Chains A and B, each alone.
Chain A
């Protein structure tokens, strides 16, 4: 379980980093989304990985055996904030495209 999850995090981080270093705004937005998946999963994984033990109290389960709720709460906020930043970035991207006429991250085509 942990092995797969960490490999997955690694792959998504790699893809995300690669994409945010690219010159097109759309690549950067996709890259940021991938990076945020990876980071969310990482934070989530810090609390330990347990199956079928959601942190919902009931009378017949010991609280200590449930999975860690703190990273979950953190990631929940992170997901929502991630959505907000994606939206903001998308709009900045569109505005920049409207003002400069291209979709390069610097607003002008690079002199290669």
Chain B
């Protein structure tokens, strides 16, 4: 529901009204509060209210919400304080702030927090947990023009985000141990968890999550930085929500995890250190909110310490203190906000004597801080007494346990000191001077109302605990502790005992400390003495810089490279290893060498082939044309091999592709640069070493491939899917050429993907060349052409270029005549494709060669004057035909690309196979034609375009 409210607020982002978003937020919060209160009868006496919906049933995850007494009291707390905060924020936020955004975040945050409290599934819980991190980030950085707010928010997000991740890991471990993610079942299987070998890692991960969230030492530093948020946010985050999530989780999982020595030691150590250090730091803050923030840390340390003890009574005290802390801390933050609002500063060195301006606020703040200090008749006193009583008891005998009473008393004294300091500095003393706002006055009544309300709650709970808070507390405690619920008493007066003595010592000691260091505090720098330099924030930033900048840079410079060669080298090397290692580990199995005889002609063929490929490798650097010719030669040898080894389809395709590729590269050769003479003769030792390394790599890859190929080829071929295709090609695919049937029928979907790739490549080529910036021509016009051009110019009746045309006349006429012949051949290849070698691919390539020849014969312009090829249309129609054929099967109720076949008797042509696969093949054919022609024409056009560009440039040059 708060999420809906958040969304609603998000929709009215642009409103100028201040009251509308407030109304939305208040209504939503009030409804939630009412719902909570109405749910109370369902949760008394340890009952549980459950709601379950399927979420990811295949992982055993359900969207489970459960509300027991403890969740109830927390939800009520969250919504009640949320409502007060909304009311307060109405008056606090200034005119210029985008109000709807604020309330949107606030509601979403509240929703996430409620989600944590009521989730009945630990995974769901950690999802909401992360949501609180994110929304608190947004809330803290609400004033995002302020650098401190941004830094504080980022720090909060980093710390709590890391914690949330640890929590998720811990929850997964927990689920692994118990076999379920359901909270009830996990809580019921505490013994099993504690005895499991994975208990310690689970505990550590969950604690990391909880302690980071609750700002426990050593992760406490994010909280004081988060006070850069608007004060209502601080009041909410610090009292009822964000930081309470951590301790909430500890209480929630208390039945499952607590009671071991590890628990006591980890939680207790963190809690006690936080308790003491937080209080100590708080004394020396000069910022009002800083003081309150550190005191929050200290109080959370107190709660954590209580939880670490593992005794039920301590848990009661912990829950009780959570509630008390929420009430007085929220009111104190709001009071601090009012002071800030009215005077314009939060610096305690500048504030003084505000009692005469803000009498009511001052009184309220005094009561609240007295509660914080643990003065009798206030709620803080009660839970502090319980804490002292527990501290004295021995729980887990160790040095940590023995020092606890002293730590507790000292921390109590510190808390008295900082509470006293807060009141005394701000409200008493001489009139303030030089305040940013000269005449502070009481805020509007409704802005003060939340504080009044909370302070009255403090008083009621403090004076008559047994009739105010006791029933609710017992409901909450019951739901956590169940049968272990101890007898406890919330009375104010337990007689003279050690806890009372400790309280007295703390009170008197605190006052004495304050009196002793008052002068120093009034003038000192921000932060505690001695360890002022040691700041968590500084360390955090150092770590952040180190990880995200230095290490990343180092890793990039060491591991990464922008050069292609090392990358390829690694790819090849790893590929080689990947081939070698399985063989190495599996062991080589020596087989007798079977010599199957060598066909001398074949041997000669491949001696030629190998020679050409070596020569191509050698010449590729400086003799590109020669290398291209040799490459074509190798291609031909491969082609002959295909014919020889009974693969006529491959041979045809290879041959045609060879033709097209050669033309393509020939078209491209023009743009490659000349040999750079300066670079040639520098063969340093390093370069030699590099070449040698590459050579070794190449030779090993070659040898490896030879061995593997030989081994594979001489192995008996297992009875694989080949026979299936061979046997069923005719009966099910209706074709005799099995390769073609596989392509267009059995594996039609692959072919579909493949032609799509071809089309994409063609379009990419086209797109790349549209914005092509050609390099300067590598060579000047060759001598032969110059002579011809001169000859043409000298003869008056000849136009330039005529000679070339003349001596190419015969070939070009022949090529023009060949056009229909080749097209007929393409049709022939296509039609016979299903039964004999041929098919869409080879026919398509043939067709594009026919077009290509026309370009070669007459030149680009001539060809385009006569035939208009629209390659894009060919491609589109082809792809659509293939798709439509495939989808046609749907109409008849078959899966995609199911083909139908029969033979048709056409007049003149005779019996023709007419499978629907033929239509599919037609699509393939058209797409191949379109793509190939598109690529070639796009490249060929560059030669025309460059001349046009040059002409334009020359014209420009003449004009200027």
Contacts and interface: CB of A to CB of B under 8 A. Distances in A.
- Chains A and B bind each other: yes
Interface stretch (B67-75, B235-243, B394-402, B630-638): B630-638
Contact of A17 (B595, B702, B751): B702
A38 to B, nearest CB: 7
A91 to B, nearest CB: 5
B602 to A, nearest CB: 6
Nearest to A18: B698
Contact of B706 (A6, A19, A92, A97): A6
Interface string A63-89: 110111110110111011111111110
B915 to A, nearest CB: 14
Interface string B593-637: 001111100110010011001101100110010011001001100
A68 B722 contact: yes
30 contacts: A1-B602, A2-B710, A7-B606, A10-B702, A10-B709, A13-B698, A15-B614, A15-B616, A18-B695, A21-B698, A24-B620, A26-B621, A31-B620, A33-B631, A34-B631, A42-B705, A45-B712, A48-B717, A54-B837, A56-B737, A73-B747, A77-B751, A80-B754, A85-B761, A88-B765, A94-B668, A94-B942, A103-B673, A109-B679, A112-B687
Contacts of A49: 645, 713
B545 interface: no
Interface of A: 1-27, 29-31, 33-34, 37-38, 40-42, 44-58, 63-64, 66-70, 72-73, 75-77, 79-88, 90-95, 97-99, 101-103, 105-106, 109-110, 112
B23 interface: no
Interface string B74-111: 00000000000000000000000000000000000000
Given A14-B699, A31-B620, A79 B653 contact: yes
A45 B694 contact: no
Contact of A91 (B562, B722, B768, B837): B768
Interface string B222-251: 000000000000000000000000000000
Nearest to B771: A95
A44 to B, nearest CB: 7
A103 B320 CA distance: 76
Contacts of B738: 55-57, 66, 69
A7 B624 CA distance: 26
Nearest to B619: A30
A50 B646 contact: yes
Given A6-B707, A91-B769, A97-B672, 8 more contacts: A21-B694, A34-B631, A55-B738, A80-B754, A87-B761, A91-B668, A97-B671, A106-B563
A61 to B, nearest CB: 10
A1 B613 CA distance: 19
A84 B616 contact: no
Nearest to B931: A84
A23 B742 contact: no
Contact of A48 (B564, B713, B931): B713
Contacts of B851: none
A21 to B, nearest CB: 4
Contact of B694 (A18, A26, A47, A58): A18
A29 B665 contact: yes
Interface stretch (B303-311, B724-732, B784-792, B817-825): B724-732
Contacts of B426: none
Nearest to B836: A56
A90 B664 contact: yes
Contact of A2 (B565, B621, B702, B714): B714
Interface of B: 562-565, 568-569, 572, 595-599, 602-603, 606, 609-610, 613-614, 616-617, 620-621, 624, 627-628, 631, 634-635, 638, 641-642, 644-650, 653-654, 657, 660-661, 664-665, 668, 671-673, 676, 679, 682, 684, 686-687, 694-695, 697-699, 701-710, 712-714, 717, 720-723, 725-727, 729-730, 736-739, 742-743, 747, 750-751, 754, 757-758, 761-762, 764-765, 768-769, 772-775, 835-837, 841, 928, 931, 935, 939, 942
Most buried by B among A2, A51, A64, A69: A69
B563 to A, nearest CB: 5
Contacts of B703: 10, 14
Contacts of A53: 646
A32 B706 CA distance: 18
A55 B739 contact: yes
Contact of A81 (B599, B713, B754, B935): B754
Contacts of A4: 598, 602-603, 606
B638 A37 contact: yes
A24 B674 CA distance: 12
Shortest Cβ-Cβ A-B pairs, 7 listed: A14-B702, A10-B706, A18-B698, A6-B710, A6-B709, A15-B617, A69-B738
B570 to A, nearest CB: 11
B598 A63 contact: no
Contact of A56 (B610, B627, B727, B835): B835
Given A12-B634, A18-B698, A23-B565, A70 B768 contact: no
A109 B673 CA distance: 13
Contact of A72 (B631, B650, B679): B650
Contacts of B687: 112
B686 A11 contact: no
Given A7-B610, A63-B726, A106-B562, A84 B761 contact: yes
Given A45-B709, A76-B653, A91 B596 contact: no
